[in-house]
Amino acid sequence: MEVSYSANKHTPEIVFFDLETTVPQKSGERFWVLEFGAMVVCPHKLVELESYTTLIRPRDLSVVPLKPRRTDGIRRAAVKKAPPFEEVAEKIFSILNGRVWAGHNIQRFDCVRIKEAFEDIGMPAPVPVGIIDSLGVLTEKFGRRAGNMKMATLASYFGLGEQKHRSLDDVRMNLEVLKNCATVLFLESSLPNTLQSRWYGNSNIMTRSRTNYGKSPGKEETSRKSPPTASLGYQRAVPYTRGSLQKVTEGVKGLLCKAQGHQPLNHILRHSHSLLR
């Protein structure tokens, strides 16, 4: 029997995007966008429909180092003749507005920088219809099997090469990492008792965010493609199989019930166990 599938023509497209920025050297300094890169994909087939990338010259060129700390960083000479943000703002707006935004740690970083850039020129910022942050999704679903949640580490884990720290290259790498993680999870769900591995979380990772300032100015991690250490939502790790976890839960429940004997406590424990399964 032949089966046909018709996608909803009104389903919004997904735009993966990434920014390269300056790295503030002390508290009070801001991030300046140096490069924008985006790739529009079909949500049903994940095929690339459109891509765009551009270097961006900040108002003050002195904020761009002559020699970046990273060998693959963007140099001052590279953006000296690039267009200012106001000249590419309409193009960036047309790519982002009304689509699902996707990227690695975009909620804490890239989305904030985009909004700042549009505010600087007095133009309304683009609005997404949804956001897929691969940092949060992969941390919860895939875990820290690669060691940490930096894009470079995840790419190396799957043999996808080195991260180039250029916007469009990183966007394409982001999608490939997601495809690989999804494939592993799909296979594990098919044979959970055979293929599912155990992993443990590692929270000793920093992210490039303003929330880090005031602690150690100028010494922050130069890449924001990693989870924040202060966020409990990014530290979930359950190093038990479902069976052993149930035994632990039931044992603790019995002890607490003997000590407390309150029905509300029993209800809470049952609810907690259902969340941890």
Catalytic residues: 165
Which uninterrupted H or E stretch holds 145?
Answer: none
Pick the closest to residue 23 from 208, 247, 174, 270 (CA basis): 208
Closest CA to 62 of 32, 87, 105, 35: 32
What end-to-end distance do the CA atoms of the chain give, in Å? Answer: 38
141 contact partners, CB below 8 Å, separation of at least 6: 181, 185
DSSP letter for 149, please: -
CA separation, residue 123 to residues 5, 19, 33, 83, 93 (Å): 41, 19, 16, 17, 10
Which strand ranges, in their side-by-side order, compose the sheet holding 100-103? 48-55, 33-41, 14-21, 100-103, 130-133
